[in-house]
Amino acid sequence: MLLPYQVQRLINRYRHANWALTDQTVVSGSNFVTGVLLARVLGPEAFGVFVLLQALMIYVNSFQNALIFQPMMSAAPQMDNDVRSRYLQGVFALQLTLSCVLAVAVAIIALFAHAFGLEKLVGLGPGVIVALNAALLCFQLQDWQRRYYFVQEYPKGAFINDCISYGGQVVFLTLMMLQGTLSVASAFWVIAATSLAAFIFGFMHDRVEPVFAHAKAVLKEGWRTGRDYLMAWQLQWMGTQGVLMIGASAVGAQAAGGVRAAQNIVGPINILFQAMENVVPVIAARHFGHEGLGGLMHYMWRITAIGTALLLPVLIVLTLLATPLTHLLYGDSYADTAVLVAWQAALIFVQFYLRQVTFFLRTVKATGVIIRSGVVMSVVSILVGVAVVNRLQETGVMLALLSGTLMGLAYSIAGAIKVRQRIAEEEAPKHAPEGKAPENKGGDSQPIDLMDCNMKMTALRGDRP
């Protein structure tokens, strides 16, 4: 029997992970509930329109993920507190600038679409476009706030912030459903309002001041990594959300709605995925900086084994219960989508391993492999989609997604093996004969010791060489 002291030690040791899992439970649970509400109330066609607009949101957010979050999540944990504070002030300034630029760009595109009447071709009125743009801007600000908490290793703050944002969405969408006012436009206004409320709450609590004088140094420091991630995100969007667009153009918006309905049933799995996304890059970067390749590999193998043990039984149960779950959650109008749940379960299983390999590649800065994997995944997904969607409809969309992800995983594993071998050789100088420099094998990307980021960020401290 564990003594109270030992129990307390376990709680303290895993407190960060526990809060991260609790936070992601709120996010994934809320997304699951809102997905069911929207699917049932809007119907397959209108829900499909909402899904396609969400795909556009994901595309715009790829700029934020690549240029802001990925460099920040890897670099900030390795900095001293003072340097990290100044760095995050610069990141916040860069975030505000980028969000405003993206919002203006979307507004300009919407104005051109309105001038040529293009929005009428897809049944979108000006109200939906304005609501979508507001949701884009506010969601990015709230997402910055929650990522800031994870970088500061304060997941409890992210939990509170997400309760306001995602929990608020459930409350207000439910009220609109009961009042009969829920629509595509009102759903995006709810996202905008709750995201803005969560951001304001976090900003007032932490008082992180944007320092625009630091923004240029932050962008320069993370530009190469961010640029590579941006290219990878664009390609991954084409291979995932782009396939949904192909399905919608061939079969109609209801195809996107059916696929998303199936994805939503498996959606609670995102608790594991997003918790890893928030925690693993930070801890992996620390292991690599302090312990080298051996420490990083040990950590990644352990995380992969734990994730597999948690994931596989849940996916099997969801697959076996697909038909009754679909009927219970969505009703008869979505009965045909039950078969898609098995496809989505298989896709999630493959994506889990692709995510682990990507964590490794991100930590060692092998972004070239990530980009090329995205190319492989996108090309295969789109080619398969074009070939089979007309004939297989929603099943064809899922087949295209699974095919592309499998090929992307195969390429990523092959690339990761080569990168690992190269890093092992570069860590070998202590075993090499004295006076002989280790040979540099080269490669698509040189691994960077993140511990040197304190020296690289001298511009943020105001030091001069």
CA dist 262 and 342 (Å) reads 9
Residue 281 in domain: yes
**pLDDT tier, 115 (very low <50, low <70, confident <90, very high otherwise):** low
**pLDDT tier, 113 (very low <50, low <70, confident <90, very high otherwise):** low
pLDDT tens for each residue of 247-259? 777 767 777 788 8
Residue 37 in domain: yes
pLDDT at 129: 83
Residue 31 in domain: yes
Q: Is the model's pLDDT at 431 over the cut of 70?
A: no
pLDDT at 123: 53
Listed residue (339, 350, 412) closest to 375, CA to CA: 412
Q: Which domain holds residue 293?
A: 4-449
Residue 71 in domain: yes
Average pLDDT of the residues of the chain: 80
Q: What are phi and psi of 141, to 5 degrees?
A: -65, -45
Number of domains into which the chain is organized: 1
Listed residue (34, 5, 25, 363) closest to 175, CA to CA: 34
Listed residue (458, 464, 406) closest to 83, CA to CA: 458
pLDDT at 48: 84
Which whole number is the average pLDDT over 427-452?
48
CA dist 370 and 236 (Å) reads 10
Give the range with max mean pLDDT: 108-112, 164-168, 375-379: 164-168
Of residues 338 and 251, which shows the higher confidence score?
A: 338
CA dist 361 and 88 (Å) reads 24
Residue 213 in domain: yes
**pLDDT tier, 118 (very low <50, low <70, confident <90, very high otherwise):** low
pLDDT tens for each residue of 267-316? 777 777 776 776 788 788 888 888 888 888 988 899 899 888 988 998 99
pLDDT tens for each residue of 172-212? 999 999 998 999 999 999 999 999 999 999 888 887 888 88
Which whole number is the average pLDDT over 411-426?
90
Residue 22 in domain: yes
Query: Any idea what DSSP says for residue 14?
Result: T
pLDDT at 429: 63
Of residues 208 and 376, which shows the higher confidence score?
A: 376
CB–CB of 364/224 below 8 Å?
no
pLDDT at 362: 84
Residue 454 in domain: no
Tokens of 216: 């240029």
Q: Is the model's pLDDT at 338 over the cut of 50?
A: yes
CB–CB of 148/88 below 8 Å?
yes
Radius of gyration of the chain (CA): 23
Residue 463 in domain: no
CB–CB of 74/87 below 8 Å?
no
Q: Is the model's pLDDT at 51 over the cut of 50?
A: yes
